Amino acid sequence: MTTLVPSVVPLRHLYKVPEAMRLLSMSRSVIYEQMRAGRLKFVKLGRSTLIPAVAISEYVEMLISESGVCLD
């Protein structure tokens, strides 16, 4: 029997879109939709689209805030 081991995304300052997809458990299309809407900040470096770690944290905080869930 083969055991699937989830890939681990290393802690860093900038993430590529596929890494952000894994961190946020979202599809590629949802990530790009949120970026176009200005809800998920990103930077361009040449042809690469990178999402800062701080932008991912802010996005998660925004989602929690919008949901009205208290995590205290």
In a domain, 57, yes or no: yes
Q: In the structure encoding, which two tokens stand for residue 32, read together? A: 């790009």
Per-residue model confidence (pLDDT) at position 72: 66
| pTM of structure | 0.80
Which residue segment(s) compose the domain that 36 sits in?
14-67
Residue 7 lies in a domain: no
Asked if 15 and 9 touch (Cβ cutoff 8 Å), the reply is yes
How far apart are alpha carbons 17 and 56 in whole angstroms? 11
Q: Indicate the angle between helix axes 17-24 and 53-67, nearest 10 degrees.
A: 30
Q: Are 16 and 26 in contact (CB under 8 A)?
A: no
Residue 3 counted as domain residue: no
Q: How far apart are CA 20 and CA 27, in angstroms?
A: 9
**What confidence tens digit (pLDDT) does each residue in 7-66 have?**
565 688 999 999 999 999 999 999 999 999 999 999 999 999 999 999 999 999 999 999
Q: Could you give the number of structural domains in the chain?
A: 1
